[in-house]
Chains A and B, each alone.
Chain A
Amino acid sequence: DIQMTQSPASLSASLGETVTIQCRASEDIYSGLAWYQQKPGKSPQLLIYGASSLQDGVPSRFSGSGSGTQYSLKISSMQTEDEGVYFCQQGLKYPYTFGAGTKLELK
């Protein structure tokens, strides 16, 4: 199975700060990566797919980049509503696998 390693496990950011979350795959996943946000008690929400495509309705302050085994999610200006847990997911091969998550809090 492809292992997905996220870093950091948690971080806190101030309003307006730029936030970057990393995801590393155990093998080349050829941009087959998505990012999700999950808030307490809610289902995950798709933010980015195909490594860099913004899902409809997601604010433009979210962006994704990367290739090969290294990917990142950037929030250009932290907002209150961005608090939550962020997961990466590879969709190249079965079984699809997720990172362990990054908890983002407002400082």
Chain B
Amino acid sequence: EVKLQQSGDELVRPGASVKMSCKASGYTFTDYAMHWVKQSPGQGLEWIGTIIPLIDTTSYNQKFKGKATLTADKSSNTAYMELSRLTSEDSAVYYCAREVYYGLPWFAYWGQGTLVTVSS
């Protein structure tokens, strides 16, 4: 069974950074890209970017370049996203999500989400 287990909710100060994780199980981690999606309170969904763990290649939504950094650790089957210089606009739930099949841009598997609250 494919599972994506995300790290716990975070309360962070404005201007700080936060790094969250997404541990994958139930499949070969390097066979699929991992995507990250933002959902602001009561809002829709925004695609942040993706990483291909096999070759450590990333692609970002231009809107999140400089804000988000995606990495992956093949030894622990874990993907990471770091958000920097946080503001109130970054308060949201962040999801990791895996493709339904390799190379197809449809997200069949989602983590439970990490809530990031930016507040002083």
Count of interface residues, chain A, beta-carbon cutoff 8 Å: 21
Asked whether any CB of chain A lies closer than 8 Å to the CB of B119, the reply is no
Asked whether any CB of chain B lies closer than 8 Å to the CB of A66, the reply is no
Question: Do A98 and B110 form a contact, CB below 8 Å, given A46-B100, A49-B100, A49-B104?
Answer: no
Contact size range, B: 20 to 34
Q: Which residues of chain B have C-beta atoms less than 8 A from A99's C-beta?
A: 44
Is chain A's binding surface mostly helix, strand, loop or mixed? loop
Asked whether any CB of chain A lies closer than 8 Å to the CB of B61, the reply is yes
> Which B residues between 64 and 120 are near A, CB-CB below 8 angstroms?
95, 100, 104-108, 110-113
Which listed residue (B45, B46, B106) contacts A49, Cβ 8 A? B106
Question: Do A97 and B108 form a contact, CB below 8 Å, given A43-B113, A46-B100, A55-B100?
Answer: no
> Which A residues between 19 and 61 are near B, CB-CB below 8 angstroms?
32, 34, 36, 43-46, 49-50, 55
Q: Which residues of chain B have C-beta atoms less than 8 A from A100's C-beta?
A: 44
Hey, which bits of chain B sit against chain A, CB under 8 A? Answer: 35, 44-47, 59, 61-63, 95, 100, 104-108, 110-113
Hey, which bits of chain A sit against chain B, CB under 8 A? Answer: 32, 34, 36, 43-46, 49-50, 55, 87, 89, 91, 94-101
